Amino acid sequence: MSKRESKKEQREYAKRLAQIDEQYDAQQQTRSTHGKRKKTIGNKLPNLKKQRHWATTLRAGSLLLFFGIILACMLYLVAPLSKINQISVVGNHQVTRNDVLTATKIKTGNFIWQAVWHSNQISLQAQQQNPEIKRIQVKATGLQAVKLVVSENKIVGFLKRGTSYYPILASGKVKQNKLSQPESGQPIFTGFKSAVVLQRTIKQYEQLTSTVKTSVSEIKFQPTKNDSKRLRIFMNDGNEILVKYSSLTKKMPYYPSIAQNMSANGVVNLELGAYSYSYGTKDH
C-alpha cells in the first residue's frame, strides 16, 4: 500500500468519526430538550391542581355564605328578636306620645321590619286619624327598637264661632275641640263661614314672615259688594289693614315700611294700591 492511499483512508476514517460525533451530539440535545419539556409540564400540573382546588373551594364557600345569610334573615324575621320592645317618639309638641301611638297603631310586640317597611302607609294612616300629624317616619334604631319622627301641622290661629274658639292647623283644617279662650300668641279668625275661603287665607298667611305674623291680632273676613275677597286685619300696634285674601302674601310685606311713616294709628289699604289714612279721616 502506497503512502498516498494510506493518507486517503485516514482522512475518510476521520470524516466518519466526525459524522458519528455530530449524530451523537444531536441525539443528546434532542433527549435533553424532551426531558426539559417533561420536567416543565410536570412542574405545572401541581399548580393547576392547586388553582382548581382553590376555585372550587371559593365557589362552594360563596354559595354557603349566600344561603347562610338568607337563612339567618328568614330566622330573624320570624324570631322574637325581631319584635319591637322599645318605642321612642320625637318631634311632637302639640300631640302627645299616646296620640302618636294611637294614630300609628304601633305597639310593643309588633314585628319591627313590618313597621319600617310600611312607614309611608303608617304615616298616611296617622294623618287620617289625627289632622295635627303632618308626617311620621318610622326608623329602626336597634334590633328591637324603633323611633317615630313626627312632623306636625302647627296651630296657626283660632276660629271664633259664637263664644267658642277652635284651633286652626297649618293645613287649613279646623279642629273640633272647642275652647272657651284662645291661646295667646295666635291670631283670631272671625267671619269665615266658608271652609274654602279659610283654607286659602291660611295658605297665604303661612307664607308670611314670622315678624309680620306675630304682629297680627285678628283676621276678619269682611267682603263688600265691590270686593268679595276683602279681609280686615287688626294689628297689635293699633292699625288696621284692608287686603284681599288672594293677595295677602304679596301685599302684607309692604306693611312695616308703611306703618313707620304713619303719624297716627289708622288704616292701611292694600286692596288695589298701597296707601294709609288716620282713623276718622275717611269712612272705612
C-alpha–C-alpha distance, residues 162 and 170, integer Å: 22
Q: What is the reported pLDDT for 177? A: 87
Considering its fold, how many domains does the chain have in total? 3
CATH number of residue 259's parent domain: 3.40.50.10960
Residues 70 and 177 in one domain: no
Q: What is the reported pLDDT for 61? A: 74
Residue 284, in any domain of the structure = no
What region does 83 belong to: left with phi over 0, alpha with psi -120 to 50, or beta? beta
Q: What is the reported pLDDT for 89? A: 95
Residue 283, in any domain of the structure = no
In degrees, rounded to 5, the angle at the alpha carbon of residue 19 between the alpha carbons of residues 17 and 22 is: 110
Residues 72 and 133 in one domain: no
Residue 145, in any domain of the structure = yes
pLDDT mean for each 10 residues of the chain (284 residues):
58 65 62 54 60 72 70 58 88 94 93 90 94 94 92 94 94 90 89 95 94 94 93 96 95 92 92 87 60
CA dihedral 12, 18, 23, 26 (to 10 degrees): -160
Question: 144: domain range?
Answer: 81-152
Identify the domain boundary among 121, 152, 183.
152
DSSP 75-87: HHHHSGGGB--EE
User: 224 with 271: CB under 8 angstroms?
Assistant: no
Residues 175 and 274 in one domain: yes
Residues 200 and 270 in one domain: yes
